[in-house]
Every structure is written in C-alpha cells, then in structure tokens.
C-alpha cells in the first residue's frame, strides 16, 4: 500500500470553521500541508485579514470568508461561495467555539444559550449544510472539535460541558445516520491547549508566580505540559484522510494523557 497516498489530502477541499487563529489555524495549516485546499470562516474582517496574511506567510493560499456558524443563512452562503471558488467541501472541521466561565447559579439562560448555540448548534448547521454534497459525491469527512469537557465537568463551565458533551453525541449520530453514505464523522478532544481561549487560566499572578490552574493542569497531565495547537495537526490529518476510512463515530482525545490519569496525591 502507498502510505503517502493514504494520508494525502491532495485534491480535497477543507473548510475549517473559526480557522483564523488558535487550534483552527493549526488544523488549517496541517490539512494544507497534506495537500488540501483550505477555506476558513470567522466573524470579523480584521481577524480575516490577519489570518490571510498568516496563512500566506506559511505559503498557504487559503480562502477566508466572514460567516457566523450560528446563522443558517450565512452558512448556506458560505458553502455556496466555497463551491464556486474551490469546489464542494470534502472535509469539514467544526472548530469554531467559545467558552464562558461563570458559576452555574450566576449564569443567565442567555449566556448558556449563546455557548450552546455556537459550540453545538453551529456544528449541526455546518454539517447539515455540507452533508448533501458529500452524499452526492460519495464521500466526506467531518471532524468535530470536542473537549475534555465532553467527558468531565468542573466548576464554572456548565454550558461549555453541556455543549461539548452534546457535540460528542452529535458526532456519533452523524456517523450513525450517514456512515452508509461513506461519510466519516469523528471528534478530536483536545486536552488543555495554550490558545487565547485558555489564556486567562495561564495568567501570571501579581507576585510573578504561575496561575494555580496552570500548575493544576500541568500536574494533572502525564505529559507534564500544556498542549500546543501543533499537537492537533497529525490527528486532524489522520481523521481527514483515507487512512481513517473505517474509523467512524470515534472521539480521539489528544490530551497528553489527562483522561487516563487519576492525578497525584496532594
Ligand atoms: P480560540 O483561540 O478562542 O479561537 C476560536 C475561533 O472560533 C476563532 O477563530 C473565532 O473567530 C471563532 N469563532 C467563535 N465564534 C464563532 C462563530 N459564532 N462563528 C464563526 N467563528 C467563530 O479558541 P481555540 O482554543 O483555538 O479553540 C478552538 C476550538 O477548540 C473551540 O471549539 C474550543 O472549544 C475547542 N477546544 C479548545 C481547547 C483549548 O484548550 N484551547 C481544548 C479543547 C477544545 P472570531 O472570533 O473571529 O469569529
Ligand atoms: C476550562 C477550559 C477548557 C478547555 C478545553 C479542555 O475552562 O476548563 O477552557 O474547557 O478549553 O476545552 O479540553
């Protein structure tokens, strides 16, 4: 078997939602490195312009679009534009997401709904928009960016955990419903990754010491460090490529071992 070809994304069109920076950008870079043409969306022109320059600096000719994943009309237009500019979407990475850290009894229903809307309804809307084309073309890959919170809870992240737990089950359901059409829908569950989303958890304290949560995560991770967006590049290429054609409805945790570890005795 030609192993290079098995992992190659040559000739494929990939859409990475929220691929302007952070984990989405690293995944866009990875898929491009394996041969795919990259489209991404975000919500602001300034982020889009910066991202285009960042992709360009890496020698990647990415296409960027303004679209909010919670808006079905905007997502429909996004997919039509990508089809006109590049072709039908072969690989969808549902990466766009937010978190709000608020104790549950202090959280408004409006805040809770916004997190669920972006982190769970958004992936539903984007998957729904690409699945018909994938069915017609006879193949498709959908990768949902899940979380440690697809499995675990902690104080202040009730909406995020509810959404990411739901995203795990949406992944399994897309697999169940469209696996027969040769669509593989899998999730990646990143551990604690150093990006803007987690920056508040890594802030230095006034006395220069590390944030207690930062120390907690390092001690809870057998790898002994935070993850980097680059840690997700290989797993994303695997799940986007023919190498994973018999992998479906699976969540691949890329967490430095957190989920395997009970933690150190204090
Ligand atoms: P990030 O740095 O905050 O980036 C989030 C991206 O999502 C941005 O590009 C943002 O762009 C986009 N976005 C947010 N809301 C959107 C919307 N409604 N429509 C379109 N785009 C939207 O976050 P990250 O850490 O890279 O996380 C990326 C994904 O991985 C998220 O789903 C996150 O929950 C998940 N994750 C992160 C970690 C971690 O430790 N960092 C761990 C597990 C899972 P604009 O704001 O410009 O629209
Ligand atoms: C938090 C974090 C997490 C991570 C990630 C873990 O406040 O606990 O932000 O939820 O971002 O999703 O996998």
- The region that residue 165 occupies, defined by phi over 0 for left and psi between -120 and 50 for alpha, beta otherwise, is alpha
Is 90 exceeded by the pLDDT of residue 266?
A: no
Q: Is the CB of 96 under 6 A from ligand 1?
A: yes
Active site residue 21: no
Sign of CA dihedral 34, 40, 42, 45: positive
Token couple for 11: 């000739």
Q: How far apart are CA 117 and CA 121, in angstroms?
A: 5
Predicted TM-score of the model (pTM): 0.98
d(CA 15, CA 145): 13
Q: Is 251 in the pocket of ligand 1 (CB under 6 A)?
A: no
Q: Where are the alpha helices (DSSP H) in 141-232?
A: 158-178, 212-220
Residue percentage of the chain with pLDDT more than 90: 99
> How confident is the model over 172-181, as a mean pLDDT?
98
For tokens 């359901």, the residue is 173
User: pLDDT (tens digit, 9 = 90+) per residue, 194-229?
Assistant: 999 999 999 999 999 999 999 999 999 999 999 999
User: What is the distance between the terminal CA atoms of the chain, rounded to a whole angstrom?
Assistant: 50
Ordered by where they begin, the domains of the chain are: 3-193+228-260 (3.40.50.720)
The finding on whether 69 has its CB within 6 A of some atom of ligand 1 is: yes
- The whole-number pLDDT of residue 265 equals 87
Check if the beta carbon of residue 134 is closer than 8 Å to that of residue 140.
yes
Mean pLDDT, range 31-52, rounded to an integer: 98
User: In the structure, what pLDDT confidence band is assigned to residue 184 with cuts at 50, 70 and 90?
Assistant: very high
């Amino acid at each position: 078997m030609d192993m290079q070809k098995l992992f190659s994304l040559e000739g494929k069109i990939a859409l990475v939602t929220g691929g302007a920076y952070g984990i989405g950008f690293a995944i866009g870079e990875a898929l491009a490195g394996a041969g795919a043409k990259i489209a991404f969306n975000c919500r602001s022109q300034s982020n889009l312009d910066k991202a285009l320059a960042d992709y360009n600096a890496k020698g990647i000719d990415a296409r960027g679009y303004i679209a909010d994943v919670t808006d079905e009309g905007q997502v429909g237009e996004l997919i039509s534009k990508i089809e006109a500019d590049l072709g039908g979407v072969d690989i969808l990475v549902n990466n766009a997401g937010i978190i709000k850290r608020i104790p549950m009894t202090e959280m408004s229903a409006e805040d809770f709904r916004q997190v669920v809307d972006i982190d769970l309804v958004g992936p539903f809307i984007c998957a729904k928009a690409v699945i018909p084309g994938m069915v017609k073309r006879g193949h498709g890959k959908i990768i949902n960016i899940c979380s440690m919170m697809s499995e675990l809870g902690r104080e202040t992240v009730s909406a995020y955990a509810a959404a990411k737990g739901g995203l795990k089950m949406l992944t399994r359901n897309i697999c169940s419903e469209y696996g027969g059409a040769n669509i593989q829908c899998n999730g990646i569950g990143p551990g604690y990754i150093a990006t803007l989303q987690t920056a508040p958890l890594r802030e230095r304290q006034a006395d220069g010491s590390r944030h207690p949560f930062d120390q907690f995560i390092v001690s809870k991770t057998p790898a002994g460090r935070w993850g980097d967006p680059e840690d997700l590049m290989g797993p994303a290429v695997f799940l986007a490529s023919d190498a994973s054609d018999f992998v479906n409805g699976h969540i691949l945790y890329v967490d430095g071992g957190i989920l395997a570890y009970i933690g150190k005795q204090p």
